[in-house]
Structure 1
Amino acid sequence: MLLKITLSLLGCVGVFVYISQTQPKSSPSFDQQLELNHVQGNFESKPSLNIKNLSTQKQQQWQDFQETQKTPLKTPLSLTQETVTQEITSSQPKSPEPIEPVAINNYMTLTATEKTNQLGNPIYHLQLYAKGQLIGVYPTVTGKAKTQGKNRHQAGSKAPLPNGRYSVASTPVAGTDPEVGQLFLPIEPQFATGRTALGIHYDPSFEKSNGEDGTEGCIALTDESQLQQVLLYVQTYQPEYLEVNLPF
């Protein structure tokens, strides 16, 4: 009886061993495989499963990205800084060239000479200055031969105009008297005086024996073409003033 039991047990053990050897072995888990490879020194799993390789790739990609940021982007020629600056500069309105004021050191003077005309009327020089330089001298008369010594500040005296500084009109006006001629350039005394309606014009009666030689106080050119030259000077240089300086 004991022998049968023993034989039965041995038969069960043999069957169990046979079943165990014939069943397929299960594959180790991913963690087990990693541990097994580490123990065996054979850590050569595929790159897709290699955490260390994945980290290294990410770091390399980041470094490559950083390098591309350090390299300046190539800009088309039309958008380079130099071209943009030139376009902005060319599109901006240019400042006008500075214009020198025409009235700086431009002025006129009236001074006496030792000459007289054929009727005894004194000749005075009208002198034109541009930028401080004398550019023209013209013979003129003021007052009449018989009125030279009269009160020069008294209205109606017909004496030469008084000494002092006068402002000069920029353009002439039409003459309103035959003895004034066609054009009359007004001048205005910058001091107190009784004289009015003074100006520069041409004397149609110069050296004529008609009793009208000279003026009633204005400055008169002896030639009509010379008046045109004086008016052109005034238009061009716009004199600051006329300075009258006669000895009496």
Structure 2
Amino acid sequence: MKSLYILLAGALAISLNACTPYEDRVTPEDPAGMKLDFSVTQTPGYDNQVTLESNTKGVIPFWDYVFGTTKETKAVVILPFAGDFYVKYSAYGSGGPKTDSVKVKVSANDPKFFASKLYHLLTNDAAGKTWVWAVDVPTGYCHGNGPGDADKPAWWTVGAAGLKTQGVIDDQMTFDLNGNAHFAITHNGTTTQGFFSLDTLNQKIKISGADISWGNNVAYNIIKLNENEMTLVQQGDGWRNIWMFKRKGFVF
């Protein structure tokens, strides 16, 4: 039996499954006679927190909850984004793997998960924020490299003319928290979609499925991030590659 529970006012609410909401359903037997029995329980008042529990006897469980996986028989996980998501459950028994899923609804982005102000500054939350090259910085150079502690290009320097030569001067990058940690870059009229992960403790950002404009496909250190400016660096031993961006519409 698969079920989803939301505990409200100390009572056990009705179960939910992927195909027939608010109804208990016994999953079909496989050739070996295995019936799936599992539950997905959202915490009252904090429905981003979900308890996964496998009750199927004699199997190895595997959970895919969109933002991660686990093999635990019972696990407490976080779904950080608002939206509707499918939690997939697989049981590996003598008759082979058998899989089912339930649909869960998360009411809001997790305020605990996104407590760091870096998320808001980078993305403007679910609304999204678009960044472009900071071509009008006072120095005139928004890309290049320099010493290991540089906060602006110092050795090799690139301004508007160099960006235009490379064909990247009009690139635009958008970050948002609308259902996932989305990243998108528009280059020469083509938009490539990806995702980002933010290490708020070490102030690093990693893009997957795409890259920043004229990037090096690395994890970037964030050395400046405010409402209007973002400076990323690739940190080396005694050197840095530097990218300086600004919020679209901002003028220095």
TM-score by length of 1: 0.24
- Point out the structure with the larger strand share: 2
- Point out the structure with the larger helix share: 1
Q: Which has the larger radius of gyration?
A: 1
TM-score by length of 2: 0.24
Q: State the structure with bigger RCO (CA 8 A, min sep 6), 1 or 2.
A: 1
